[in-house]
Structure 1
Amino acid sequence: MAAAREELQKDLEEVKELLTKATRKRLRDVLMTEKHKLELEIKNQPPPKPKDAVEEEKVSLGGYTVKINNYGWDQSDKFIRIYISLNGVQKLPAENVQVNFTERSFDLLVKNLNGKNYTMTFNNLLKPISVEGSSRKIKTDTVLVMCRKKREEKWECLTQVEKESKEKEKAAYDTSDPSEGLMNLLKKMYAEGDDEMKRTINKAWVESREKQSKGDMPMDI
């Protein structure tokens, strides 16, 4: 986190330096937009912890840390709810389950659960959340993170990165040539599929080529 904040700060200083030298209005407008964007990203970064607090936390954690990748989520008009399954988490002291929120991110830390620590980080949430209105609940074998929406509107996904990925994928298949879109889809399925999927696609491709070849042959009269 600290490293990311430091890099953003360096980018901001460089943009400010370029602004002092830029004379063209169009260039200044672009640099000002980038400046505001970087300032917002820095603002949304969690504040750096004092060195003593970081060292104390490392000592208190002990064991080793596991990054959480699996979760479920849903939403209501007011909240985004993220469900994280952790066996026995309800037996921990409440202070061992910590969530830090910013307007566009949150960090979950579960300490000393069966000798392990668990972490999950969400950066660049799709839309702003209310830090004061967000919270976490501990249920049987589950941590529920509740992000209070700043505006009551439906989210199509959780993060900005997911949205951009979906848009790129849609653009790849949304072509004026249907066969091109199908080809892109088959390529993706082949690249991400297991051995059985690849054999199936190869077989279908060969059979399709054979049918095309027969269709091009002149008919006997």
Structure 2
Amino acid sequence: MDLTEQINQLEADLQELGTLLEKAERKRVQELLKQEQKKVEKEIAVKRQQKEQQARREADPSAASKATYTVKITNYAWDQSDKFVKIYLTLKDVNKIPSENVEVNFTENSFSVLVKDLGGKNHQMTVLNLLYPIDEKDSYKKIKTDMVLIMCKKQAIKKWECLTKVEKQAKDKDKPAVEENADPSDGLMRMLKKIYSEGDDEMKRTINKAWSESQEKKVRGGDMMDL
């Protein structure tokens, strides 16, 4: 089966998955179908890239000696406005290649970037499981000097804490657990110990003095601690 037929089969699969998703009522089934859609979409993108490379080799046999390899894009930053999440990809001279060489595909929960034939390489980035859904139809790219700007349109005006759900889970995991019946004074003591260990000599003297005074009050029947 040649690449064209493989792409056609994958596109048919994707269409059928969409039909099944419209009919699915169970949330778990919907999630499984969406995951499969993402896999098929990625496979289609890879096959299309292979087909384009094959077409270039056939059109210019000498190009085979100029094998183009793909590298991951790692140099990027992001910020946001009320309506958009903005991803900045730093790629030297990207503004000097044809704009059609910069392909960006959006889904509700992901986006992928493929910059072809820049500096003798392809540059690729795929971000899955975005923190919140985006509107793929109103999302777009901008090509600037040495930079590609990805504009992901938010479905809802909401502040994003991070870019993906995986990053959110990692942040939540790092948060200290709070026991339901914990003594509030325990938290205060932990905080004071942390300040004491990280503070300078003056800070330590201040805390020691406050602690001594609080203990004296406790002995006299006063408050347990009064800073």
Q: Determine the structure 2 residue equivalent to 1:39.
A: 33
Q: Determine the structure 2 residue equivalent to 1:16.
A: none
Counterpart CA distance in 1 for 2:46 and 2:81 is 39
Counterpart CA distance in 1 for 2:119 and 2:170 is 36
Counterpart CA distance in 1 for 2:93 and 2:46 is 32
Aligned residue pairs, count: 153
Q: Determine the structure 2 residue equivalent to 1:57.
A: 52
From 118, 132, 136, give the equivalent of 2:137: 132
Q: Determine the structure 2 residue equivalent to 1:26.
A: none
Cα contact 1:46–1:102 (8 A) shared by 2? no
Counterpart CA distance in 1 for 2:78 and 2:124 is 17
**Root-mean-square deviation (Å):** 3.1
- Determine helix, strand or coil for the equivalent of 2:103: strand
Counterpart CA distance in 1 for 2:101 and 2:134 is 24
Q: Determine the structure 1 residue equivalent to 2:95.
A: 90
Does 1:165 find its partner at 2:170?
yes
Over 3 Å counting, the alpha-carbon distance change for 1:125 and 1:46 in structure 2 is farther
Cα contact 1:67–1:119 (8 A) shared by 2? yes
Counterpart CA distance in 2 for 1:84 and 1:146 is 11
Q: TM-score, normalised by structure 2?
A: 0.58
Q: CA deviation at 1:55?
A: 2.9
From 73, 83, 106, give the equivalent of 1:78: 83
Over 3 Å counting, the alpha-carbon distance change for 1:58 and 1:38 in structure 2 is same
Larger Rg: 2
Q: Spell out structure 1 runs of 4+ moving beyond 6 A.
A: none
Counterpart CA distance in 1 for 2:166 and 2:176 is 15
More displaced stretch, 161-170 vs 39-48: 39-48
Q: Determine the structure 2 residue equivalent to 1:193.
A: none
Q: Determine the structure 1 residue equivalent to 2:149.
A: 144
Give unpaired runs (5+ residues) of structure 2. Answer: 1-9, 14-25, 57-65, 195-227
Show CA shifts across 1:129-151 (max 9, x none).
11110110100000000001111
TM alignment of 1:6-25, pairs within 5 A: none
Give unpaired runs (5+ residues) of structure 1. Answer: 1-5, 10-31, 186-221
Q: TM-score, normalised by structure 1?
A: 0.60
- Determine helix, strand or coil for the equivalent of 2:135: strand
More displaced stretch, 97-106 vs 54-63: 54-63
